[in-house]
Amino acid sequence: MSRTRIKICGLTRPQDVRAAVDHGADAVGFVFYPPSPRAVSIDQAAALVALLPPFVTSVGLFVNAGQDEVDAVLERVPLQLLQFHGDETEADCARYGRPWIKAARMRAGVDLVEFSSLHPRAGGILVDAFVEGYGGGGKTFDWSLIPEGFGRPLVLSGGLDAGNVTEAVRRIRPWAVDVSSGVERDKGIKDAAQIAAFIAGVRQADG
Ligand SMILES: O=C(O)c1ccccc1N[C@@H]1O[C@H](COP(=O)(O)O)[C@@H](O)[C@H]1O
């Protein structure tokens, strides 16, 4: 069994990028969704991505962004993976010639297999709790909505933190986990000790 990949999302400060990298994150996420308290400008993101060493993936998160908006970011920020967290169609996501993952907003009645069939070219399906405002809500969802043997790379997110991630990984065995609120001391302000504890919690489940 390979180790669970870890993404730390919603970084806004150089020291938080360094903490994520130093503690062993595989990917870091930057939010390009203006209403989010974690939103970064293009200049800010370019400076933060420049801090990343090789083999740590830079991820750009978008919510129902226009093509011009995404293109403007991609022109200046070397993002390696796109995360579409809104109501984007497969065609919307495929426009940029970059790999992407697609978020499913989970609540009772959502059929993940059907959702997945609508996004056949996404590199993975991220599952997050349905919240007003699209994400970053620090809310868990009913993990039994995830079918056993899902069959595609699954990124588990939504309300994960150092206190629940070990159980989550043991139970779901996702390809990766993604966390934002659960490693923060304030919105957009990460806490190095919580990042370290979160990553240790994942590794404990990996065995
Ligand atoms: O982080 C945000 O502000 C955000 C805004 C809009 C859409 C998604 C957002 N973040 C993503 O939400 C999930 C769950 O986050 P949390 O750990 O529950 O806070 C995660 O995938 C973030 O990447």
Question: Which of 150, 93, 96, 82 lies closest to 119, judged by CA?
Answer: 93
Burial of 75 per CB tally in 10 Å (0-12, 13-18, 19+): exposed
Q: Give 30's DSSP letter.
A: E
Is the interface score ipTM higher than 0.85? yes
* List 16, 128, 161, 178, catalytic entry: 128
CA separation for the pair 131, 158 (Å, rounded): 9
Residue type, 84: F
Dist. CA 53–CA 138, nearest whole Å: 28
How far apart are the CA of 114 and the centre of ligand 1, in A? 22
Domain boundaries of the chain, sorted by first residue: 5-206
Helix, strand, coil percentages in the chain from 3-state DSSP, rounded to 5: 35, 20, 45
First to last CA, the chain: 10
Q: Give the SS3 label for residue 177.
A: strand
Number of the ligand 1 atom closest to the C-alpha atom of 159: 18
Token couple for 91: 């065609």
Structure-token pair, residue 3: 């180790």
Nearest CA to ligand 1 atom 11: 136
Any idea which fold 5-206 has? Answer: TIM Barrel (3.20.20)
* CA separation for the pair 117, 47 (Å, rounded): 37
137 lines ligand 1 (CB under 6 A): yes
Quote the Cα angle for 9-72-186, to 5°. 25
Q: Tokens representing 110?
A: 């959502």
In order along its 207 residues, the chain shows pLDDT tens digits of 689 999 999 999 999 999 999 999 999 999 999 999 999 999 999 999 999 999 999 999 999 999 999 999 999 999 999 999 999 999 999 999 999 999 999 999 999 999 999 999 999 999 999 988 787 789 999 999 999 989 999 999 999 999 999 999 999 999 999 999 999 999 999 999 999 999 999 999 999
pTM greater than 0.90 (yes/no): yes
